[in-house]
Amino acid sequence: MDPLGRDTTYQCITFLTDYGLEDGFVAACHGVAARLAPHVRVMDITHLVPPGDVRRGAAVLAQTVPYMPPGVHVAVVDPGVGTARRGIAVAGAGGVFVGPDNGLLSWAARGLTAGGLHPHIVGVPGNGEVRAFELANPKLWLEPVSATFHGRDIFTPVAAQLACGLDIEQVGPEVEAESLVTLPTPMRRVQNGGAEGEVLSVDRFGNVQMSLTLADLDLLGARIGGALMVALGVTPRIQGNAQHAPQRRRTFTVPYRETFGSVAPGELVAYADSAGCLALAVNSGDAAQRLGLPPGARIRISVAE
């Protein structure tokens, strides 16, 4: 049993990183996992998180893990590698999460999505609760440890041994869950006939996922086949190491439909995406580029008259 009282039979090791696919970083981690846990299935979530984009990695991890078998989830988007930032193993929703203590694991470990606990997590023992341990036992690491490749030398070997039944308490001392770096919960509120939120993520197609949910739209009385009034705000947001310029204030109407093909090629459409979030897309185009909407940008939605 793990610290949250669950069976510790893990069916997989998953990987999410910003390593890309051009170099040998991913293969090296796979190799370490295969050597230490040859009978455990290795599954890739993605290795194409934009470099250093902790928030994007956190969103993808949180939205993907609920569909994975119980596992040990390695996530490495780690601009602070080699510094004083901690490495951690967190027993939480969906298994054990291994990676840097920089907020990357914070949403997924608690089973959180934009609308609260993920529906596939509700009812799972320990949902929303975590226990965390600092990776401080060098006997579990590869030697020598590279100052810039903890994914290979610390996170993956620890994860592989956990997947093989290592007691999580052996990785190092327990730390207070409240001391973990936690990303702020994405802003969302419904009031005064509108819903205010922020851009949660932008995928490779340029589809803009917002922190607003289908439930928020229902509260507004929005219906498929109608239209939404979209107002883009002016608040600058910090993303990674760069501050995006303030958005130009503008308002427009967009059809609210079930899918991209419900509008003509090149037209904007609002829809509920596969994570249950409101999203903006351009049929056969890039909505983020057209609208100038980076992650963190503020947005207000209301039902068009």
pLDDT in tens, 58-105: 999 999 999 999 999 999 999 999 999 999 999 998 899 999 999 999
The pTM of the full predicted model, rounded to 2 decimals, is 0.85
pLDDT in tens, 174-218: 999 999 999 988 889 998 889 999 999 999 999 999 999 999 999
Q: Is the pLDDT of residue 10 over 60?
A: yes
Round to the nearest angstrom and report the end-to-end CA distance of the chain: 55
pLDDT in tens, 133-172: 999 999 999 999 999 999 999 999 999 999 999 999 999 9
pLDDT in tens, 280-304: 999 999 999 999 988 889 999 999 9
- Cα 300 to its chain centre, rounded Å, is 23
